[in-house]
């Protein structure tokens, strides 16, 4: 298995899942944005985005989808939810929610306020920030009285949504998080799997293969 990654980008979802599951993988960490700063990347992944993940004949470009793939392909149901479990629907909903509902407005905020700033775009960016924060309502309500999102245990739904919270922190907008959401993010960041992923993304190339 090989993962192409940029530091703290959405590919961190996949890296965090690989570390939690203890699966062997190869990691290539590239400067961001890789389609401009990493020669030859467009030949590897024509989309030019991260993550890019290869496992045998399987090629995936969706961060939450890679987490889901790992659970199913490698029977990592300690980190997933099986269809016969009562919270299977909620589990899938959080997995899709993580990127389509949460990270989507965050990246528009990033793009319009930090990557391509001008006065008009900055206003649009601020609007997407408010939109993202408003969309945390459902997650905040859930983690107010639950340690993790589903099934009373840590799953890849926590990795997928927790990454969005972490990205918000890196974007400097986490001061607007409500107390239960902040406490949930701290719980996730305290996990050895999250910390190992942080170490892995800093390690020199020759030491990354496990
Ligand atoms: N829906 C995809 C989005 C992938 C994506 O857009 N990744 C961003 C980094 S967070 C990227 O590679 N941007 C660089 C670019 O568009 O050139 C996912 O969840 O992985």
Q: Going by CA atoms, what residue is nearest to atom 6 of ligand 1?
A: 49
pLDDT for res 8: 97
pLDDT, one tens digit per residue, over 182-196 is: 999 999 999 999 999
pLDDT for res 203: 79
* CA angle (146, 81, 16) in 5-degree steps: 80
Report the length, in residues, of the chain.
Answer: 210
d(CA 66, CA 47): 16
pLDDT, one tens digit per residue, over 68-121 is: 999 999 999 999 999 999 999 999 999 999 999 999 999 999 999 988 878 888
For each of the domains in the chain, give its residue range(s) and CATH number, in order of start: 2-79+194-207 (3.40.30.10), 88-191 (1.20.1050.10)
Rg (CA), the chain: 17
Protein residues whose CB sits closer than 6 Å to any atom of ligand 1: 9-10, 33, 35, 48-51, 62-64, 99
Give distance in angstroms: CA of 10 to centre of ligand 1: 6
Ligand 1 atom closest to residue 35's alpha carbon, by position in its atom list: 17
Q: List the single range of 11-15, 107-111, 136-140, 194-198 with lowest mean pLDDT.
A: 107-111
pLDDT for res 114: 86
pTM of the model: 0.96
SS3 call for 83: coil
Distances (CA, A) of 202 to 17, 36, 146, 186: 17, 21, 32, 21
| Contacts made by residues 72-76, CB under 8 angstroms, sequence distance 24+ | 74/21, 74/23, 76/21, 76/23
Ligand 1 mutation pick, 3, 10, 32, 106, max ligand atoms within 8 A of CB: 10
Give distance in angstroms: CA of 51 to centre of ligand 1: 7
Give distance in angstroms: CA of 50 to centre of ligand 1: 5
């Amino acid at each position: 298995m090989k993962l192409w990654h940029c530091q703290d980008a959405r590919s961190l979802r996949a890296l965090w899942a690989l570390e939690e599951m203890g699966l062997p993988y190869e990691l290539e960490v590239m400067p961001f944005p890789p389609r401009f700063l990493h020669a030859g990347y467009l030949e590897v992944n024509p989309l030019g985005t991260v993550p890019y993940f290869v496992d045998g004949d399987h090629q995936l470009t969706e961060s939450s989808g890679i987490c889901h793939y790992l659970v199913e392909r490698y029977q990592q149901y300690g980190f997933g939810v099986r269809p016969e479990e009562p919270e299977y629907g909620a589990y899938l909903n959080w997995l899709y929610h993580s990127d389509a509902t949460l990270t989507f407005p965050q990246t528009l905020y990033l793009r319009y306020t930090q990557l391509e700033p001008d006065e008009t775009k900055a206003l649009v960016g601020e609007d997407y920030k408010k939109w993202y924060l408003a969309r945390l309502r459902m997650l905040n309500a859930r983690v107010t009285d639950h340690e993790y999102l589903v099934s009373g245990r840590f799953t890849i739904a926590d990795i997928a949504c927790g990454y969005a919270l972490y990205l918000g922190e890196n974007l400097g907008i986490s001061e607007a998080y409500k107390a239960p959401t902040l406490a949930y993010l701290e719980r996730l960041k305290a996990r050895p799997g999250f910390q190992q992923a942080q170490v892995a993304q800093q390690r020199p190339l020759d030491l990354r293969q496990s």
